[in-house]
Structure 1
Amino acid sequence: MPDDGSRYELVEGKLRKMAPAGDAHGYLALRIASRLERHVDANGLGRTYAAETGFKLSSDPDTVRAPDAAFVGRERVEKAGRVRGYWPGAPDLVVEVVSPNDTHSEVIGKALAWLAAGSRMVLVVDPDKFTVTVYRSRDEIRVLTADAGDTIDGADVVPGWTLPVGELFA
């Protein structure tokens, strides 16, 4: 990746420059990541990763993506040992915060690409709609809202982790 101070993702061998995160984006990414990390660390479940961490999803052509937050389970962390460079493969849980310039089709495409690469759950946080869309598969998609009193549930991916959507957007 170029070392010019900009953020990039490598998608099918092509560099995609990413704009810096705005206020709501950065706030929500940290808010969900910090609550996730607290639970993961307290229960020895694995590792939580912040934005800027690259995950190498494929080779020839290479795809390296950096979610806004991620989690990899303990068994996979132990099996991989010390990783130099990008994490080899997709995280178990991905958090993506929608940016103002993201189109609806891009957001869906990115979530489905994470699942196709091996992620078990993708959370798409939309700061404008105050929603969290949970992707488990192409057919298992659920939209959570604060108004409905919904709660994010880590289920079998991050056992025991929950976060009320209203608390995320507070």
Structure 2
Amino acid sequence: MATLTQSVTENPSINPSISQGEGYANALPEKKVWTDEAFMELPDDGHHYEIVNGELIDMGNSGALHGYVCGLLLASLMGYVLPKKLGVILDSSTAFKMKNGNRRSPDIAFFAKERLQGITELPSGFLEGAPDLAVEVLSPGNTVEEIHDKLVEYFENGTRLAWIIHPKEKYILVYHSAQEPHHLLKSIDSLDGEEVVQGFSLPVADLFQPLSF
């Protein structure tokens, strides 16, 4: 299968929600070495931050559709993972410490219990490495470069499965490595936890259902 970048170039319809603009969201002017303590002490101003190449990056806020899809999938994963004690599910407020010093925050993360042996409660700081399952729900401002860079870091730091969800176009790209998507899921398909979240399955259509009150 073509790479993410090639897919956009050769078939624009496959990735219309990722622009190829200026790259990441707004880089803040601070030039400093960001310690865990300094990052944790950032004010709770409603913004989502990451540290990328030593810079504090304001990732911006997401819209209603993004939040709705995240909420649906988060609830489904929580409802499956917790009763079976497979590990922990973490939301986008959680930053993970990469080997290169970056702090990344997937929209949804699953950390398997095998990687949490010997601890009885999660640290107040960051977990080392990337989650076993990393989920990114795209917003209009995301870029090909940004998503590719995240995938590279995720898989270099322990991720085994990644789902890149395109809520506007209603499809999901499944990755087993950062090089290229393993397969594409549409509304007629089911999302599978594979060997990472064993037994988990969710109809893709459930994430893209219209509102019905």
* Length-normalised TM-score, structure 1: 0.90
Query: What 5-or-longer segments of structure 1 have no aligned partner?
Result: none
Q: Which residue of 2 aligns with 1:120?
A: 160
Q: Structure 2 unaligned segments of length 5 or more: list them.
A: 1-38
CA 1:166–1:9 in 2, change beyond 3 Å: closer, same or farther? same
Preserved CA contact (<8 Å) 1:111 1:124: no
Cα distance in structure 2, aligned partners of 1:151 and 1:79: 34
Q: In 2, Cα distance between the equivalents of 1:111 and 1:166?
A: 24
Cα 1:122/1:3, change in 2 over 3 Å: same
Q: For the aligned residues, what is the CA RMSD?
A: 1.6
Greater RCO (CA < 8 Å, at least 6 residues apart): 2
How high is the sequence identity, in percent, across the aligned residues?
34
Amino acid at match of 1:84: S
Are 1:13 and 2:54 counterparts? yes
Deviation at 1:112, TM superposition (A): 2.8
Q: Which residue does the alignment assign to 1:48?
A: 89
Matched residue, 1:169: 208
**1:111 and 2:174 aligned:** no
Q: How does 1:148-163 map to 2 (within 5 A)?
A: 149-163=188-202
Shift of 1:120: 0.5
Is 2:163 the partner of 1:141? Answer: no
What is the CA-CA distance between 1:74 and the residue it aligns to?
A: 1.0
Which stretch of structure 1 is more off in the superposition, 5-14 or 107-116? 107-116
Runs of 4+ in 1 over 6 A off after TM superposition: none
Code of the residue aligned with 2:64 in structure 1: it is D
Matched length: 166
Residue 50 (structure 2) pairs with residue 32 (structure 1): no
Higher-Rg structure is 2
Q: Distance in 2 between matches of 1:153 and 1:4?
A: 35
Structure-2 residue corresponding to 1:131:
171
Which residue in the other structure is 2:109 paired with? Answer: 70
Whose strand fraction is larger, Structure 1's or Structure 2's? 1
1:80/1:119 CA distance change after superposition, 3 Å: farther
